[in-house]
Amino acid sequence: MNRVDRLMSMLWTLQSKKFVSAEVFAEKYGLSLRTVYRDIKALNEVGIPVYFEPGKGYCIMKGYFLPPLLFTIEEANSLLLLQTLAYKFADKSITKNSDTALEKIKAVLKYQDWEKLEKFSSKVEVYLPSDSNNENHYLSAIQNAIVDKNILNIHYTDNNNNQTQRAIEPIGIIFYNNQWHLIAWCSLREEYRDFIVSKIDRLVRTSEVFKKEHSYTIQEYMKIF
DNA sequence: TTGGGAGCGATAGTACCAAA
DNA sequence: TTTGGTACTATCGCTCCCAA
């Protein structure tokens, strides 16, 4: 990493964390403390309001924000790979967002890097078994419901082709057996259930918050069931 | 019990020099 | 030009001791 990239990286770190000590920077970039002090001074000299709080570390003045407009070609390639995986493993609601995110990244790349990224994008492919299905578009809504603890109303077709309507409280999503599974408290069955996302025929995210205090995390659920 | 001063360690910062 | 090493100073927080 050259010095300019490192200074930018330090800036993003300071923007994303409350306090960072000189020692943490030295360890992160494999530098001596002396060089970290020089870098902090360099940031100050170009007008970035980095200040020091005794016992805590360095911090950037509240309200100061520089949008992360610079990406290296390696970072852009990594994101392109992730987007390719998203196309295969996620649904339309996710790929729509990852498309626009990648377009924003491409827009701020240097022309040479943009050209490299375009060449690379035609040389990456992921193959999945033919029975995998990511044709619906509920993953994004499910993600938001999990974060905001919103109840979901779903129309679901189970393994016996029985169609039911349920109110569920989603605690997490898991990808296994080539399918996304939604783990949720089911008010119809009054227990935790594993719903295959592709078998959800209709999904409505309500503004109603969870009625139950959930005792499981998604990791604990997978260990137990 | 409380407040002040001394001592100590951790951390931040600077100066100078050498090496790559 | 950039970086690291060493020596040094400054500051802060904590603990201990002692006097009021």
The b-or-e profile of A8-44 (16+ CB within 10 A means b, else e) is bbbbebbeeeeebbbeebbeeeebeeebbeebbebbe
% residues pLDDT > 70 (chain A): 77
Using an 8 Å Cβ cutoff, are A68 and A79 in contact? no
Judge whether residue A17 contacts strand C, using its CB and a 7 Å cut-off.
no
User: For residue range A185-197, what is the model confidence (pLDDT) as tens digits?
Assistant: 888 888 888 998 8
Mean pLDDT of A99-110: 69
pLDDT at A17: 65
Asked whether strand C has any atom less than 7 Å from the CB of A55, the reply is yes
- Measure A63 CA to C12 C1' (Å): 27
Whose C1' is closest to the CA of A4: which nucleotide? C2
The confidence band for A153, taking pLDDT boundaries of 50, 70 and 90, is very high
Taking the CA of residue A38 and the C1' sugar atom of nucleotide B13, their distance in angstroms comes to 10
In chain A, residues under CATH classification 2.30.30 are: 139-224
pLDDT tens digits for range A16-54: 666 777 777 777 776 667 777 777 777 776 667 777 776
Separation between the CA of A7 and the C1’ of B8 (whole angstroms): 35
Q: Is the pLDDT of residue A162 over 80?
A: yes
**Which is it for strands A57-60 and A150-157: parallel, antiparallel or unpaired?**
unpaired
Per CATH, domain A3-60 is 1.10.287.70: no
In whole angstroms, give the CA distance from residue A106 to residue A120: 13
**What b-and-e string marks burial along A183-204, b requiring 16 or more CB atoms within 10 Å of the CB?**
bbbbeeeeebbebbbbbbeebe
Q: Do the beta carbons of residue A199 and residue A161 sit within 8 Å?
A: no
The architecture (CATH level 2) of A139-224 comes to: Roll (2.30)
Say how far A105 CA is from B11 C1', in Å.
39
